[in-house]
Amino acid sequence: MPLRDYQTETINNIYKSMAAGNHRIVVQQPPRTGKTVIMAEIAKRATQKGNRVLTVVHRKELVDQIAGTYEKWGVDMTISQTGMVQTLSRRIKRLTEPAVIIIDEGHHALAKTYRKIIEAFPDAVLLLFTATPYRLSGEGLGIIADDLIQGKPVQWLIDNGFLAPVKYYAPPDINAELLRRRNGEFTNESIASALKSEIYGSAIEQYKRHANGMKAIAYCYSVESAKRLAEEFNAAGVAAVEVDGETPEEERAKAVEDFRAGNITVMTNVELFTEGLDLPNVDCVIQLRPTQSLSLYLQFAMRAMNPREGKTAVILDHVRNAERFGLPTDYREWSLDGEQNKKQNKRETEKNTSPNVVVCPVCFSSFYVTEVKDGHCPDCGADLPKARGEVVTINGDLQEINQTKKRQSEIAHRLKIVHQVQKQNASKLIAGKRPSELKNLQEFQLYATAHDYKSGWAYYQAKKKGVI
């Protein structure tokens, strides 16, 4: 199977970075975009030259899955080893020194077990593959990495047929004010208190309304809630099964096979089907677990976005995750820097330049404010309420009460929307490029618009590079 163009581009960028003297490189790729294939191609090229490769994963299920992909891809398995981080860190003295270390889900690499492996082989080239290059603690991967290769934006991947388009619905089934955190994440006790008592009925109602018959994965916050949801789905005539970390391996494998074969429609789980595991025929995701982790959120949300002819994925977010992080299609500019100021940098280490998200109070569809037309929901056509403190709705007519003030408000509001659209368009046009790769004044101007840089930045940088 040939590499996709964007995968080849990523691989070429890795080698360019190495040629520039970088030794430890973060490779950012959105979920569902064939990260393992890129890893396999790198491993194949390395082993063809006689270089030993060590691949580090954090789940047992991924060891065989990745090793199987490597073997099919032509990696020389006699000099390639794949293992769980816990096992490898205990057996470091018995490991043959690798020339290349590949870490899957590389945002975990600041943990002690990973650092132990990295520090044991300081001369190895280190490649950290991740969709979200930062940790929930706020630490940046710049602590251990020299460079970051950013993959294509999610919207570009959708536009070019590599990911499925998505409909995102956010029924308000949680009281977020009751959520409490411990070690950076919400506690199960507070989630149970915050979720409305009719949550299971709402989950089934919304599924039947927006995704009836679609293969669905439901992410729950506890084993008890996952079991209860599966029971309620079965009672409603939708074949469902629950799996969790305590489910015997044979039973779990059978559940997955039944799901793939179509005998099961909904699979409820607790953090099993997040990072890495291959389950390609998911068309709907049901989120019943709120999270503070952007990484976990994107893994949840994008699980359903594998493309298929005519497919539109459906995401049902009952816990306001999109309110915390935006939509999975948002453009994000990644950095190796850690979190500097949590209050100012609400979405942690990533910079989101996409327009604001609106939720329709009738159908609960979630969409960008720029998609609103004549004050109506673009999905169901319902009238959208005015935002608190806002004089007019987008494209709506003004009421004659205080004409001067309202006219000023309208102009300011429309200018804001225009700027948001400009930023989004600019982001698409220069997506994946770094300042060093910009070729003319127009590209520098687009980059400046997308990143909210001052107007003089583009001219100064273009002149410095000698393109004007």
Per-residue DSSP letters for 99-131?
SEEEETTGGGTTSHHHHHHHHH-TTSEEEEEES
Q: In this structure, how many other beta carbons lie within 10 angstroms of the beta carbon of residue 358?
A: 20
Q: What percent of the chain is modeled with pLDDT above 70?
A: 82
β-bridge partners, 148: 26
Integer Cα distance of 41 and 69 in angstroms: 10
Integer Cα distance of 290 and 187 in angstroms: 10
Please list, residue by residue across 100-137, b when 16 or more beta carbons sit within 10 angstroms of its beta carbon and e when fewer do: bbbbbbbbbbbeebbeebbebbeebbbbbbbbbbbbbe
Place of tokens 């997040």: 274
What pLDDT sits at residue 114?
A: 97
DSSP 3-state percent helix, strand, coil across the chain (nearest 5): 40, 15, 45
What is the average per-residue pLDDT within 291-317? 91
Contact yes or no for 62/277 (Cβ under 8 A): yes
pLDDT higher at 134 or 324: 324
Integer Cα distance of 183 and 401 in angstroms: 51
**Does position 345 have pLDDT exceeding 80, yes or no?**
no
Integer Cα distance of 286 and 317 in angstroms: 6
Residue 57 three-state SS: strand
Give the lowest-confidence range in 2-16, 264-278, 320-334.
Answer: 264-278
Burial class of residue 81 in the structure, from the number of CB atoms within 10 Å of its CB (0-12 exposed, 13-18 middle, 19+ buried): middle
Give 342's DSSP letter: T
Residue 309 banded pLDDT, cuts 50, 70, 90:
very high
Model confidence pLDDT, tens digit, residues 92-145: 999 999 999 999 999 999 999 999 999 999 999 999 999 988 776 667 899 899
Model confidence pLDDT, tens digit, residues 194-224: 887 778 888 999 999 999 999 999 999 899 9
Sequence ranges of the chain with CATH classification 3.40.50.300:
5-152, 166-330
Residue 82 three-state SS: strand
What pLDDT sits at residue 179?
A: 81
Residue 457 banded pLDDT, cuts 50, 70, 90:
low
Instruction: For residue 3, give every residue at least 6 positions away whose Cβ sits within 8 Å of its Cβ, in sequence order, or none.
Output: 11, 37, 38, 41
Average pLDDT of the residues of the chain: 83
Dihedral sign from CA coordinates of 135, 139, 140, 143: negative
Contact yes or no for 459/447 (Cβ under 8 A): no
Structure tokens at 313: 């994925």
**Rg over CA atoms, the chain:** 24
What pLDDT sits at residue 367?
A: 80
What is the average per-residue pLDDT within 150-177? 90
pTM of the model: 0.74
What pLDDT sits at residue 395?
A: 28
Integer Cα distance of 383 and 378 in angstroms: 10
Instruction: For residue 414, give every residue at least 6 positions away whose Cβ sits within 8 Å of its Cβ, in sequence order, or none.
Output: none
pLDDT higher at 121 or 427: 121
Structure tokens at 367: 């969409």
Instruction: For residue 246, give every residue at least 6 positions away whose Cβ sits within 8 Å of its Cβ, in sequence order, or none.
Output: 223
Q: Which CATH class is domain 5-152?
A: alpha beta
What pLDDT sits at residue 338?
A: 60
Give the lowest-confidence range in 31-35, 116-120, 329-333, 402-406.
Answer: 402-406
What pLDDT sits at residue 340?
A: 42
- Amino acid making up residue 272: L
Give the lowest-confidence range in 163-167, 231-235, 317-321.
Answer: 317-321
Integer Cα distance of 393 and 373 in angstroms: 9
Structure tokens at 275: 């990072």
Integer Cα distance of 165 and 157 in angstroms: 9
Q: Which listed CATH number (3.40.50.300, 3.40.50.170, 2.60.40.1080, 1.10.3720.10) goes with 166-330?
A: 3.40.50.300
Residue 172 banded pLDDT, cuts 50, 70, 90:
confident
Model confidence pLDDT, tens digit, residues 346-379: 444 444 556 677 888 777 788 878 788 788 888 8
